Structure 1
Amino acid sequence: MTVEQVRVALSKQQAYALADAVMEEDALALTASAHEDEETGTWYFEASCEGEPDLEAFQELSRRVLGAAVEFEVESIDPSIDWVSRSLEGLAPVRAGGFFVYGSHEIDPPPYGLTPVMIDAAQAFGTGHHETTTGCLEAIDITLKRKRPRYLLDVGTGTGVLAIAIAKRLKSPVIASDIDPIAVETTRNNAATNGVSKLIVPLLATGLDHRTIAGNAPYDLIVANILAGPLSQLAPAIGRVAGRGATIVLSGILEHQAARVTNAYHLQGITLRRKLQRRDWTTLMLEKL
């Protein structure tokens, strides 16, 4: 597979806005992100595309989102290198909400009293380092301290980090779905590594469109760490499978998008109970009335 990278220097707010907009577009890019160059302090928007990128579509989107077209740079990415894994190798372990997420390179044993989750870098989102993942882990910890949900669903599971964390803490089955077959396989492998293969049910599904998800509803705890656009679109489906009193943890939401997502769920009889803020990212804790 030939992969091309689209890149442009923007303000921090612009880079995040464009990355979010690109990820809401079908098939425009494989991934999109905003990041800061640590040496120069310059913020960049970057997107990886399979094959030649549709620059006209990128420019049209930038006009709509930013109010002006921008000059994108395009360069080829060496397909023999797993840039996702390489960029994440050697990351320090993360403590979040009583969970300890670490890689296999970590020499020291997990600290006593924390729930250990071993996740190596992979071609799926979720090593525990991003503010959206740590926010979810903290929200899960808050939830499990006050109740013990039995029917559990992780939508857009990525590496399976959230599903595995819940399964290890509760010793209960968790359905873990994703639209990406690589993520499903990664979750299956990570579940085996963490000794919870029998508790994790990896599913390839678009949103909640799977008979196993429907057949095991209603759920007491639903987590979804995706993006604001897809989360808003999933509100009716999540509302249908959430049981009365269910906790719903949502992340992948920039601060300025939180009200839009909250309103989408309010229309489904789901109310906001708490917000966790981590830099520019918001994790919502909601309850089905």
Structure 2
Amino acid sequence: MKAERSRGPPMSVDQLSVSLTKEQAYALVDAVSERDELALTASAHENEETGEWVFEATCDSPPDLAAFSELARQVLGGEVTFSVETIDPEVNWVAKSLEGLAPVIAGGFYVYGSHATEPVPEHLTPMRIEAAQAFGTGHHETTTGCLEAIEMVLRKRTPSRMIDIGTGTGVLAIALAKRVDAKILATDIDPIAVTTTIDNANDNGVGAQIDTIEATGLDHPEIAGRAPYDLIVANILAGPLTELAPGMGRIAQPGGHAILSGILNTQADGVIAAYEAAGFALVDHLKRKDWTTLVLRKG
């Protein structure tokens, strides 16, 4: 499951769902995630019993069914009938959906929750990331791809100025702090993500290394003030990444790297083209199931 966005719990909550193809479900998640007013969370997952793919959105009650239907028509090219279920507003459904997930091993990191009882393997770097109202527990292919890309980049160089754009739970910023003795700036549009990152950074003993700010894209004076960066990490969505490409080119240090994810394999060529136009060259293209992680270098 990929939860793209979340906000604080409302007074009353409904869940919309509909069975689609995998490609349709992911496309609708991307579209809903760009419309903050429509949903608290949006996700796509496979029903293990039936094999069908399901789109789900958690919304303030009552949901705007007309807006969802119109968006589905625009994105999918046809009519979609959503089912609606009222759910308990006292339950953090983002966290609940992630509870009990097994630890993740990627890029030499071991990402686990407090429910995990097995010992951490000695040769891996541990990160404890709890299920929370922010994206990034390490289980999604975009996160594992970024962790693997971080290990690849750090084998070749040790960055000194780093930024994690769209930090979510802070998992990527924490990974960098665990491996590099330097400051990392972690940003997110969502204040819940900023708070979650602070909590997780402190819980992992790297709170002093990670500075957090609430920002939309690159629109914050501190982001410009700390530039240029020799490592930029951004696990968001293909659309925002493409829009940010010129700005990324301006804040990247020549010779510095950018690790980008949240990109469907079918969207990768467009993102690569945007970043090549901004002065980056493709170094590596990691594919994990339907998802791409790009490693680029500023020329």
Does 2:283 correspond to 1:273? Answer: yes
CA distance in 1: counterparts of 2:126 and 2:287, whole angstroms: 24
Partner of residue 108 from structure 1, selected from 100, 108, 118: 118
**TM-score (structure 2 length as normaliser):** 0.94
Alignment correspondent of 1:231:
241
Letter in structure 2 aligned against 1:94: V
Output the CA distance in 2 between the equivalents of 1:49 and 1:262: 33
Match of 1:138 in 2: 148
Structure 2 CA distance, aligned partners of 1:90 and 1:25?
Answer: 30
Deviations 1:151-210 (CA, angstroms, capped at 9, x unpaired): 000000000000000001012111000011111000001011110111010111111112
2:102 to 92, 97, 103: 92
- Mean CA deviation greater in 128-137 or 238-247: 238-247
Q: Does 1:152 align with 2:168?
A: no
**1:6 has 2:16 as partner:** yes
Residue 26 (structure 1) shift? 4.0
Please, which runs of 5 or more residues in structure 2 have no aligned partner? 1-9
Partner of 1:249: 259
Amino acid paired to 2:132: A
Mapped to 2, the partners of 1:272 and 1:282 lie a distance apart of 13
Instruction: Determine which of 30, 33, 50 is the counterpart of 1:40.
Output: 50
Question: Where in structure 1 are there 5+ consecutive unaligned residues?
Answer: none
Q: How far off is 1:82 after superposition? A: 1.1
Q: Distance in 1 between matches of 2:111 and 2:292?
A: 20
Which stretch shows the higher mean deviation, 51-60 or 247-256? 51-60
Describe the superposition over 1:38-67 as per-residue Cα deviations: whole angstroms up to 9, x where unpaired: 011111111122232222221122112111
Q: Distance in 2 between matches of 1:90 and 1:44?
A: 21
* 2:77 equivalent to 1:67: yes
Q: Work out which of the residue numbers 124, 129, 132 in structure 1 matches 2:139.
A: 129
Deviation per residue, 1:109-164 (Å, 9 max, x gap): 32112111111111111011110000000000000001111100000000000000
TM-score of the pair, normalised by structure 1: 0.97
| Equivalent residue runs for 1:197-236 within 5 Å | 197-236=207-246
Is 1:165 the counterpart of 2:175 in the alignment?
Answer: yes
One-letter identity of the residue aligned with 2:43: S
With 90-99 and 150-159 compared, the bigger mean Cα shift is at: 90-99
2:235 maps to a residue whose letter is N
1:79-105, CA deviations, whole angstroms, 9 ceiling, x for partnerless residues?
A: 111112222122111110111111122
Asked if residue 262 in structure 1 is aligned to residue 272 in structure 2, the reply is yes
Aligned to 1:282: 292
Report the number of matched residues.
289
| Alignment RMSD (CA, Å) | 1.2
- Does 1:22 find its partner at 2:32? yes
Query: Sequence identity, in percent?
Result: 62
Residue identity opposite 1:80 in structure 2: E
